[in-house]
Chains A and B, each alone.
Chain A
Amino acid sequence: MSFLQPVSWPEALAARAAYPNAVAVAGGTDVLVDINFNRLHPAAVLDLGRVRELGDRSRADGTIRLGAGVSYHDIITGLRADLPGLAMAARTVGSPQIRNRGTVGGNLGSASPAGDAHPPLLASGADVEVESVRGRRLIPIGDFFLGPKRSALEADELIAAVHIPPATGPQLFAKIGSRNAMVIAVCSLAIALYPDRRKVGTGIGSAGPIPLRAVAAERFLEGVLDAGNYWQSREPLSDGVVSRFADLVGQAAQPIDDVRGSAGYRVHALRVLGRRMLGWAFEDYRRVARS
């Protein structure tokens, strides 16, 4: 039994390689619940909380590199302008206590379909940087999630950072739950508009075995915005366009019935979120042009 407490990234990678069965802990807000409820009996613990490099935040080649150990609190206070979708999702995580400890790296490591960071990362086409003593690789976020709580992370790898293109247009996140704190999403949706690249991004949480993109909805809206010259004209979108987008968001979901909600409710709620959020996001885009 070991409690490993590396203070540098090379030390952390060496510890991971030496103890592939150790449970990696960042903020602990997810892992501790499983330990406290006797669902997890780690043979060893790898505490990543003191690894300096994991708290780094930098910008290179037009992309933000967010260290896996940056807390939700710091994302809300420091990245609201560059990553508004992720910051909005961060604000819905747990409670102030949880946001002080919880990290995006931890969220990815748990790979829950309900992880709040995942939809905005999908909507912005992020890459997950993982590393082991064997080397470093970037995993596109769409390839990272393999199943409920299963990811492409190998046993000897650790999550180093997330690479995220900064916002160039409106980004939104919304989440359905029964309380304003400590909610595991019944379902959630992220939308990102990239006027410079004429792209639309989406991410759906808690409505499938993994976090999902609504690819057909993205393609449909990109087609309409291009064909109707909406990116330039900034004319309001018709109700028909907004409804069709919302229907396609609902169709992208692969939900099940569970304790938090029924599959039917989740699809309905995602349609409602899709309709409202596209309306808000495009209204934001139009307002910026007018001001």
Chain B
Amino acid sequence: MKVSCTVNGEARVADDVRYDESLLELLRERLCLPGTKNACEQGECGSCSVQLDGTLVCSCLVLAGQAQGCEIVTIEGLGDGAGLHPIQQAFIDAGAVQCGFCTPGLIMSTHDLLARVPDPGDDEIREALAGNLCRCTGYQKILEAVHLAARS
């Protein structure tokens, strides 16, 4: 089937999408946006987090067909094109990036949190990022990066 949606502000169309294909596969394999990571494919790790019509979701748990006509923002669409988004810069400045695989998902979750809670406390951050795993276990720096992003 054909799926049309807006990704990072741009109208995109994909043909021959399988009816049981995930939004994650659509983004990575068909629309060539590899910033959204594929790890667990069961919602455990949050690496595939994107914004779907303004809501944070695991793109591995959304059918591509369910995104028909929707607006999607991925990590590639967060910056303004010229530079990094302040949250991305904060993750670099705080040293919250180790292998980097979990970083796009964590930044999308942080973006969602800060849009709702501009100056979150540690507990709020921990709960908001609870669905994102960092297997390098650099959580303390990630916590600092969210605080830094909230101030910037």
Q: A: which residues have CB within 8 A of B? A: 1-3, 5, 25, 27-29, 32-33, 35-37, 41-42, 44-45, 47, 49, 94-98, 100-101, 180-182
Which of B4-12, B63-71, B80-88, B94-102 is the contact stretch? Answer: B63-71
Contact present for A100 and B60 (CB under 8 Å): no
Please provide the 8 A-B residue pairs with the shortest distance between their CB atoms, ordered closest to farther: A95-B131, A181-B130, A36-B41, A3-B19, A32-B61, A33-B42, A97-B58, A3-B65
Contact present for B68 and A5 (CB under 8 Å): yes
Question: Is B104 part of the contact surface with A, judged by Cβ < 8 Å?
Answer: no
| B38–chain A nearest beta-carbon distance, Å | 10
Nearest residue (CB) in B for A44 is: B19
Contact of B131 among A35, A37, A45, A181 (CB under 8 A): A181
Beyond known contacts A96-B130, A182-B130: 4 more, CB 8 A cutoff: A29-B43, A37-B42, A101-B57, A182-B43
Question: Is B13 part of the contact surface with A, judged by Cβ < 8 Å?
Answer: no
| B138–chain A nearest beta-carbon distance, Å | 17
C-alpha gap A211/B22 in the complex (Å) = 30
Contact present for B42 and A41 (CB under 8 Å): no
Contact present for B65 and A96 (CB under 8 Å): no
Contact present for A35 and B56 (CB under 8 Å): no
Contacts of B126 in A (CB 8 A): 180
Contacts of B144 in A (CB 8 A): none
Contact of A45 among B20, B44, B49 (CB under 8 A): B20
C-alpha gap A96/B68 in the complex (Å) = 23
Contact present for B41 and A96 (CB under 8 Å): no
Contact of B55 among A1, A41, A100 (CB under 8 A): A100
Contact present for B57 and A36 (CB under 8 Å): no
Contact of B66 among A41, A44, A47 (CB under 8 A): A47
Contact present for A49 and B66 (CB under 8 Å): yes
Contacts of B112 in A (CB 8 A): 96
Contacts of B46 in A (CB 8 A): 95, 97
| B126–chain A nearest beta-carbon distance, Å | 8
Nearest residue (CB) in B for A49 is: B66
Contact of A32 among B60, B127, B131 (CB under 8 A): B60
Contact present for A45 and B19 (CB under 8 Å): yes
